[in-house]
Structure 1
Amino acid sequence: MINIYTRITCAKKDYASFMALCLFLIWSQTARGQLVSADLPVTNSQEMNEVVRDGNTLYVSGAFSYIGPNTGSGVLLDSSSGTYVQAFPKVNGEINASIPDGQGGVYIGGEFTKVGSVFRNYIAHINSDNSVDLTWNPAPDAMVEAIALRGSRVYFGGYFTHIGGVERNYIAAVDAVTGVLTSWDPLCDGLVFGIAVSDSIVYFGGNFAHVRGDAVAAARLNIAATDTGVGIATSWDPTALSLNALEPYVVKGLLLADNDTILYVWGNISGLGYTTKYGAGSLYTHPENNNNTYATAWTPSPRYASNNSTNCAIKALAISGDTVFLGGEFLRLKTAYTTRNHIGAMTRSGAGTILAWNPNITAPNYVTSSRVSGVTSLEVVGGVVYAGGYFTSVGAVTRSNLAAIDRGTGVATSWNPHIADGEDMLVNTLSLTGSNIFAGGNFNSVNGVTRNSLAAVDLLTKEVTSWDPNVTYTGAAAFMSEMVQYGSNLYISGTFDAVGGTARSRFAAISKTTGLPIEFLPTTTFTNAPFTLAVDNSKLYISGTFTTIGDSARNNVAAVDLTTGNITAWNPDIDSGSTYYVNAFGFSGSTVYMSGVFENVGSSPRKGLAAVDDSLGSALVWNPNLGNSSASTGFRGYAMTVYNSIVYVGGNFDTVGTTGRRGLAAIDASTGSIASWNPVITLPSGSLGITSLGTAGSTLFIGGEFSTVEGNARTGVAAIDILSASVMDWNPQLNRIGTATKVVSFEIDNGNELLYVAGDFTTINDGDPGSYLAKINISAGALPVELVSFSAMQNGEFIKLNWQTATEINNYGFEVQRQIILLPIGTNYSKPDWEKIGFVAGNGNSSSPKDYSFSDNAGYNGKYVYRLKQIDNDGKVKYSNEVEITLGNQPKYFKLSQNYPNPFNPSTTIKFTIPNSENVLPTTLRIYNAIGQQVSELLNKPLSAGIYKLEFDASNLSSGIYFYKLQSGKYVETKKMIILK
C-alpha cells in the first residue's frame, strides 16, 4: 500500500526571522503514569506466566532458566570478582558498540532510547562517576553499530540518516566533549559497521557502494578511506567482497596496527584487497610502499566444519602483541582439519600460524543461518582474554555468554559474572573501562542464579532465595503454565517431567519450605498438562483434558479436597473430549462460575459460560451466553472475577449471548443479564485478549494483550473505574519493543496497594528496563505542578520553546513532544502520532517561578505542534495544552532523501521536495532492481511545490539491492535501497 503525504507549508508571509505564539494555560488530560518498581529480579524468558505472593515471598513461574537483578543491557564488571557496579545507569535497549573515553567513562551505541533517567536515542556517553553526560547528545535517528574515538572526535556508524535532524547517512563525526556534529560527511550510501581512525584518515566498512569523491561519488565497495577534514575519499580502494547474504554487513569491524600501517578487517568476507580472503584479512594502508599490493598474506580461512568447503564470517577480532584472537561461529580455523570451536588464535606474521591455544567453546551450530551463535566480542587485558556472545561453556566449564580465558592455557578462569543465558541474551561488545570490564549487548541481567521455571523472591531484600524446586523436562526446556497456593504448598502444571529430580509429569504439588514434591493425586497420570488451576474454600479446582482423576470419572474438570487429597463429589460433567475444558473459575458464596470451551453442563446446554453449585456441580439457571455461536468457534473467556453481585469475564470475544462485547463483559451474578457497563477495548486479532482480572476497591484491573481502553493507549495492564466504566489515568506503561506487550497474570496484595505482574514486556514506566516481572503501586495520588505559560517561537532554523511554572511539587521534569502536521494529497487534514524529541529536568519542589526552554532543530518547513509531558518523581504524568508554529516557506530546491529505514523489511519511507515553480511539474518515482529492470512505479502524476513523504511496501520483492529514481521536470536523482528479509 502506498500513501503520499505533503507537509503543510506556510503561505508567503513576512515573519522576518521571528514569530511567537504565547498561550497561558493550565495542565489538561492527566495521564498519571504510575511508577513501576524496577528493583525486582528479571529472567531470561520471553514470558513469565504466574505470580503468587505468600507474605514476604513472591513465587514466580514461566519458561526461564535464569533469574537475577535487573541491570539493563550494559554493565561495568569488576575485573576480579565479576560483580556488577550497581551505580552504572540502566540501558533500556540493545548495545552494539562501546569504546572507553580515556577518562574512566564509556561511549555506547546501539538501539536504545533511555540511559538511566535520561532519554538518549541510539548513542550516549556515561561519565567516570557513572552519570549520564547531559551535554553530549548527538541524537541519531536509527541504530548505531560502530564507535571510534580519535583526538577530539567521536566517529560512529550504523543505520541512521540524520543526526539531530541534520542529514548524515550511516556515518558521522561529533565533538567528543559537546556532541556537536562536525562538517565531516563522507556521503556514504549504505550501512557502516566498522570504523578505524588514524591521525589523518578515517577507514570505515560495512555494506555500501559509494562515498564522497572530489566532484562525483567515488565507487568504494564495502570499505573506504576518507580524509578527516571534509570526508573525501582517498585513492585507497581495496574493495571487500561479500561471502553470503546471511548478514547485513560485509565488513563487520576494522582495527589499525603497526603504527597505522596495517588494517585488520573482518566480517562476512570472501575477498579483500583483490585477493581471496574468507572471514578476515589484513591490508596495507600504504600499498604504494608494498609493491602496490593491498592484501597481506595473513588469512584465517574459518569454516563451519571438517571437510566442509563452506567458509563463514569472523564476528570478533582482537590483537595483543604478535597474536590475533578470533571469534565467530566457526568450528575450523586455517585448515579444514584444525578444530577451533568458535574461538582461536593465530600469529600476525606471514600467512598466520594457528596457535595451540584452544578454549573449545560450546555453542549451537546453526551453520548457514542468520541466527547468531558463538563468539561475537573479544577484549584482551593483560593475561586474560574476555569473550562474549552466545555460548554455554568454555572447555568443561559452564559459562553463559561471557567468560574470561587464560591467555596462556586457554582455560576459563574463575571469573564468572553469570550473565543471563540464552540465544536472546547476546554480549555484543566488550571494552576495558577504567579498571572494570564494560559488557554490552541484548541481555537484561548479570550476577544471577540458575532456576528452572520456578523461583522465589524475597520481597524485603528483592533477591532470589535459595529455594529451588528445579522443575525440568527431558530433552527440552520446562514450561510452567499454572500455579496456585494453599497452606504450605504450591500446585503447578505445565510441560515438565521431574521436580527436584523426582518424577512428576505435567502436574505437581511442591512444599514451600523444602522445594521438594509432595505426594498428591499419586494415581493420576495426566496425558496433557492441566489448563486451569484455582483454589477456593479448601478445594483445588482443576481443568484439562482428562476422563479420570484419582479414582473418579470426570470429564475435563474436577475438584480435590486439599485437606484429604480426595476427589470431591463436585462434578459439572461438561462435554467429554480433548477440545472441551474450563479456562477460568469465579467464586461467590456457594456458586462456582466457569468460563471456557464447552457446550453442556450435565444435561443443560451452556455455551462457554455457566454457574454450578459448589457441592455437586449441578448447573444453575444462570445462562448469559444463550444464543451465541458454538463455544468451540465463538466465545473465548480466559478470566473471571466476581464483585458486588457482578461477574466480570475477560477474554477474546465479540459477543456475550446476543449482546456485543469486545473482550470484557459484566454479567449479573443472579440473572445472567448482560450489564450496560461496556468499556471499549482494542484487542489484536489472534490474541488471548484479557487474561487476568482483579478488583481493588471500586477499581477493576485488567491484564492481557490489548492496545487501547476507551480510546486511551494502554498496554498489558489497565485500571477501569467500576462505577463509570471509564479508564483511569493510572498507566504503568509496560512495553515490549518490537512485539505486542502482554500480561499473563497478576496478583493484588492484601492492602490493595501493590500489583505484582507477570507477562511479556521489557520496559516499564517511560522506557525504563524491566523484564517480565513488575511491582506496581496502585494507591498513590497525583502531585501538582502549576504551569503558567508555554510559548513557541522561530529563531533562525530553530524553534525555541519557553515555559514557566509557578509552583512545583515532586517534579522530575518535562518530556518535550512534537507533531509535524501531514496532509495526505486529496484528503482532509490528519494528525500524526506524537514523537518524543527531548527532556528537560525539573526543579523537584519549588514555591517560586521557574523558567525553562528547549530548542528544536526542526529540519523541515511546515507546521509544528508541541506539548509538554510533565513527569513527577513517582512516575505520574500530566500533559500541557498544545502550541503551534509554522516554519518557513515553500522549498527552494529539489531534494531526494535516503529512504528510512534502510535496509528494511517490508516497508520504508522515501522523502523528497519539489521547489517553487511557475508550473505544476510531472513527477515520477520508480523502483529498479540491480540489473536496471523496473519493478514498481510508486508515483506518476503532476505535483506542485512541497515536501512529500511516500511509504513503499516491498512485501512482494525478494532481498537485494534496489534503486529508486525521482524525475520531476528536468530534475533526476537516483538512490540505493536494500531489502533484507
Structure 2
Amino acid sequence: MKIKLHFLSLCLPILILLFYSSFNIIYSQSWNAIGSGTNGKVNAVIVFNGQLIAAGQFSSPATNIARWTGSAWQPLGSGLNGAVNGLTIFNGNLIAVGAFSTGGNNVASWNGTAWSPLGLGTNDTVFAVTVYSNTLRIGGKFTTAGGINCNRVSFWNGSQWGTMGTPNGVNNTVYALTVFNSDLIIGGQFTSAGSLTTCNRIVRYNTNGTYTAMGSGIDNNQVLSLSVFNNQVYVGGNYTSIGGVTVNNLARWTGANWNTVASGTNGPVRTLVTAGTNLIVGGSFTNIGNSIARWNGSAFSTLGSGITGGNATVRSTVTWSNVLIAAGEFTNAGLLDIPASNIAGYGSVPAAPVLISPPDGANGQSTTPVLDWSDVSSASTYGVQLSLNANFTTLVSNTNNLTVSTLTVPSGILTNNTTYFWRANASNGLGTSPWSLIRFFTTALTGIINTQEIPVKFNLYQNYPNPFNPVTRIRFDLPAGNTGSRIILSVYDINGKLVNEILNTEYSAGIWEVDYNASELSSGIYFYKIYAGSFFAVHKMAVIK
C-alpha cells in the first residue's frame, strides 16, 4: 500500500501538469482544416456576407468557387467554368475575375443568388481586381474590355468599361493592384505604362489618367502581390533586386524611395495582406516560415509550423470570423501536419466567457435585465441561453450571433417573481467554447408599493410621461379587501391584441407605482388595463420613437 501511495504521489504532479498543458493546447493558436478543403489550388479568398469565399481551380466542393458557412462548403450557383484568380466586393456584390466564360467573360458579379456579366467582359485572362476611386479596376493579360482597346488594365463604373491613361494601359501582364493614398499601384511584368517609356514592373496611376514611375522599379521577373502596411507599399514577387540592390522577392516603397524588408525570402511572395498590427506574407519560401509568416514592421515571426506538403504555396489570405485563413496549394498545416487540402485556418477556439451581471443569486431584477459578460479575445460572436432550470431543459430564450458581450432581454419574455438561470458561450470560425459557469437571478417589477397608506377607493392614473420612449410609470390605488384575488396589469395594441402582461400577482392593498419598458414596441397607441379583485379600469398611452 505504501508503494502504491508513493507512486501516486510521484505521478500526481505529472498528471496535473499534463492536464493543464492539454487545457492550454485547446485554447492556444494552431492550424486547423477548413472542412474537407478543395481538390485543386485556391487562388483567392475573401469574406462576403459573413461567409468565407474560396476560389481557384478545383472541381470539389464546387466548380472553381465555393463558400464556407462555418460548418459546410456550398456552391455559388453552378460556379464558373474556368480558373478564378481574384475576388473583391463592389457595390455590394462579389466580383470574380479569371479565365472563364460562364457568368461573364473573365469578369462576373454574384449578388448572393445568381451570376451576371459586367458588360462584354474582357478578351483574355484577368489576374487582379480592386476598387479605386469608386470604380472597379482590373488587371491581367487582356487587350480589350467591353469591346474597346484596354491594354491590360481597365475600369468598370457600374455600367460600362473604360480606358486608363493616354496612351492607355501597360505593355505586358498585370498581376497585382492596390490603393496607396490617392494612387492606384499596378504591379506585374510590364516595362512601360501610358506615356512612360520606363517603369519597370510597378507604376503609380492617378485618377487624372497619368502614370508615375516608382524610382527605378523592379529589376527583373515579376511583381505578384501588393499591400499597404504602416503607410508604405509592400511589394512581393519573384524578383531579386531593385536598382542593383538585393531584396529577394520582397521590398517596400515609402512614397519616395525603396527599402529592404529584412533579408527578404528564399522563394516567391504571392500574397500580402494586413491583419491587425501585422502584415501577413505568403508564398513559396522557408527562410522566414513555411510558406507563411507575419511582419510587425521590424521583424518576421512564424505562425506555428506554417504550411507544408504538396507544392506548399500560399496564394491568398484573409481574416474570417477571427481566424486567419491561408489558401493555395498544400496538403498539410501546423506542428502535427494536419491534413488541410489547400485551405487552412490559424487561430484557437475561444475560451468560455465569464458572466458579470446580474450578480449571481440577485433578487428584484427587472423583467428586461441587461445581461453582461466578459469579452473573449478570439471570439467573433456570442450565444446566450435563459432557462427556468439549471439543466437548461426549459429554455425561455436562446440567442445566437451576438457581436457584443451584452444582451438586453426584450420585454414579454421574462415574468415577475421568477428565478431564471443563464449562461453564455463564444464562437469564431474554428468552433464554439464550452458554456460559461451558470448564474441565476430572480425577477421583480421595478417600482414602489406603499402599504403604509391604504387608499379608500380604487383608482388607475394616467401613465407618466405620456407620450414616452421607452419607459413610463403606471400608478394605481388598491383599497383594502379583495383578499385571495389577483392583480393583472396588461398592455394591448389598438386592435385589442395582448402585447405584454406587466403584472400578475396576489392582491395587496396600497399605492402602486410600476415602471413599464416599451423598448420592444413600435410607435403607436396602446391601452393598459388593470383587473384587481372586483375593480377594472383602462387608459390609453402613446409610444413615440
Residue 757 of structure 1: how far off its partner (Å): 1.6
Letter in 2 for 1:727: F
Letter in 2 for 1:566: Q
Report the secondary structure of 2:214's partner residue.
Answer: coil
Give the TM-score normalised by structure 1: 0.31
Distance 2:51 2:119 in 1: 26
The change in CA–CA distance for 1:33 and 1:779 in structure 2 (over 3 A counts) is closer
Residue 35 of structure 1: how far off its partner (Å): 0.5
What is aligned with 1:556? 152
What is aligned with 1:458? 69
The change in CA–CA distance for 1:767 and 1:505 in structure 2 (over 3 A counts) is same
User: After the TM superposition, which residues 377-776 of structure 1 pair with which residues of structure 2 at under 5 Å, given as runs?
Assistant: 451-459=62-70, 462-465=71-74, 467-472=76-81, 478-499=82-103, 504-511=104-111, 513-514=112-113, 516-522=114-120, 524-526=121-123, 528-550=124-146, 552-561=148-157, 564-568=158-162, 570-571=164-165, 573=167, 580-604=172-196, 605-613=198-206, 615-620=207-212, 622-625=214-217, 629=219, 634-669=220-255, 671=256, 673-683=257-267, 689-709=268-288, 714-722=289-297, 724=298, 726-736=299-309, 739-749=310-320, 753-765=322-334, 766-776=336-346
Letter in 2 for 1:767: D
Distance 1:495 1:569 in 2: 20
The change in CA–CA distance for 1:496 and 1:583 in structure 2 (over 3 A counts) is closer
The change in CA–CA distance for 1:780 and 1:623 in structure 2 (over 3 A counts) is farther
CA contact (8 A) 2:43 2:327 kept: yes
CA contact (8 A) 1:664 1:690 kept: yes
The change in CA–CA distance for 1:620 and 1:582 in structure 2 (over 3 A counts) is same
Report the secondary structure of 1:607's partner residue.
Answer: coil
For residues 797-848 of structure 1, give each alpha carbon's deviation from its aligned partner in whole angstroms, at most 9, with x where no partner exists.
xxxxxxxxxxxxxxxxxxxxxxxxxxxxxxxxxxxxxxxxxxxxxxxxxxxx
Distance 2:122 2:33 in 1: 41
Structure with a larger share of its residues in helix: 2
User: After the TM superposition, which residues 89-488 of structure 1 pair with which residues of structure 2 at under 5 Å, given as runs?
Assistant: 451-459=62-70, 462-465=71-74, 467-472=76-81, 478-488=82-92
Residue 764 of structure 1: how far off its partner (Å): 1.6
Name the Cα RMSD after superposition.
Answer: 2.8
Where does structure 2 lack aligned partners over 5 or more consecutive residues?
1-26, 352-429, 431-545
Distance 1:740 1:763 in 2: 10
Distance 1:66 1:589 in 2: 39
User: After the TM superposition, which residues 787-806 of structure 1 pair with which residues of structure 2 at under 5 Å, given as runs?
Assistant: none
Residue 681 of structure 1: how far off its partner (Å): 1.7
CA contact (8 A) 1:455 1:467 kept: yes
Distance 1:601 1:770 in 2: 41
Report the secondary structure of 1:682's partner residue.
Answer: coil
Report the secondary structure of 2:215's partner residue.
Answer: coil
Letter in 2 for 1:62: G
Residue 59 of structure 1: how far off its partner (Å): 1.3
User: After the TM superposition, which residues 829-844 of structure 1 pair with which residues of structure 2 at under 5 Å, given as runs?
Assistant: none
Distance 1:576 1:693 in 2: 23
Distance 2:32 2:181 in 1: 35
For residues 640-685 of structure 1, give each alpha carbon's deviation from its aligned partner in whole angstroms, at most 9, with x where no partner exists.
111233111001111012221001111212x1x12254244222xx
The change in CA–CA distance for 1:507 and 1:612 in structure 2 (over 3 A counts) is closer
CA contact (8 A) 1:734 1:741 kept: yes
Aligned residues: 324
Distance 2:237 2:28 in 1: 25
Report the secondary structure of 1:494's partner residue.
Answer: strand
Distance 1:659 1:65 in 2: 43
CA contact (8 A) 2:97 2:107 kept: yes
What is aligned with 1:377? none
Distance 1:778 1:674 in 2: 37
What is aligned with 2:514? none
Letter in 2 for 1:744: R
For residues 912-967 of structure 1, give each alpha carbon's deviation from its aligned partner in whole angstroms, at most 9, with x where no partner exists.
xxxxxxxxxxxxxxxxxxxxxxxxxxxxxxxxxxxxxxxxxxxxxxxxxxxxxxxx
Distance 2:39 2:151 in 1: 37
Report the secondary structure of 1:731's partner residue.
Answer: coil
CA contact (8 A) 2:235 2:251 kept: yes
Letter in 2 for 1:510: W
Distance 1:565 1:658 in 2: 44
Letter in 2 for 1:530: V
Distance 1:548 1:497 in 2: 15
The change in CA–CA distance for 1:584 and 1:487 in structure 2 (over 3 A counts) is same
Give the TM-score normalised by structure 2: 0.55
CA contact (8 A) 1:51 1:758 kept: yes
Distance 2:333 2:340 in 1: 6
Residue 770 of structure 1: how far off its partner (Å): 1.4
The change in CA–CA distance for 1:57 and 1:572 in structure 2 (over 3 A counts) is farther
For residues 198-239 of structure 1, give each alpha carbon's deviation from its aligned partner in whole angstroms, at most 9, with x where no partner exists.
xxxxxxxxxxxxxxxxxxxxxxxxxxxxxxxxxxxxxxxxxx
Q: Percent identity?
A: 21
Letter in 2 for 1:612: Y
CA contact (8 A) 2:144 2:150 kept: yes
Report the secondary structure of 1:600's partner residue.
Answer: coil
Distance 1:608 1:43 in 2: 32
Distance 1:775 1:41 in 2: 12
Report the secondary structure of 2:109's partner residue.
Answer: strand
Report the secondary structure of 1:43's partner residue.
Answer: coil
Distance 1:619 1:507 in 2: 25
Letter in 1 for 2:208: L
For residues 331-388 of structure 1, give each alpha carbon's deviation from its aligned partner in whole angstroms, at most 9, with x where no partner exists.
xxxxxxxxxxxxxxxxxxxxxxxxxxxxxxxxxxxxxxxxxxxxxxxxxxxxxxxxxx
Report the secondary structure of 1:493's partner residue.
Answer: strand
What is aligned with 1:38? 33
Larger RCO: 1 or 2 (CA < 8 Å, sep 6+) = 1
CA contact (8 A) 2:224 2:271 kept: yes
CA contact (8 A) 1:33 1:733 kept: no
The change in CA–CA distance for 1:741 and 1:559 in structure 2 (over 3 A counts) is same
Distance 1:775 1:571 in 2: 41
Distance 1:584 1:708 in 2: 24
The change in CA–CA distance for 1:624 and 1:40 in structure 2 (over 3 A counts) is farther
For residues 3-31 of structure 1, give each alpha carbon's deviation from its aligned partner in whole angstroms, at most 9, with x where no partner exists.
xxxxxxxxxxxxxxxxxxxxxxxxxxxxx
Report the secondary structure of 2:325's partner residue.
Answer: strand
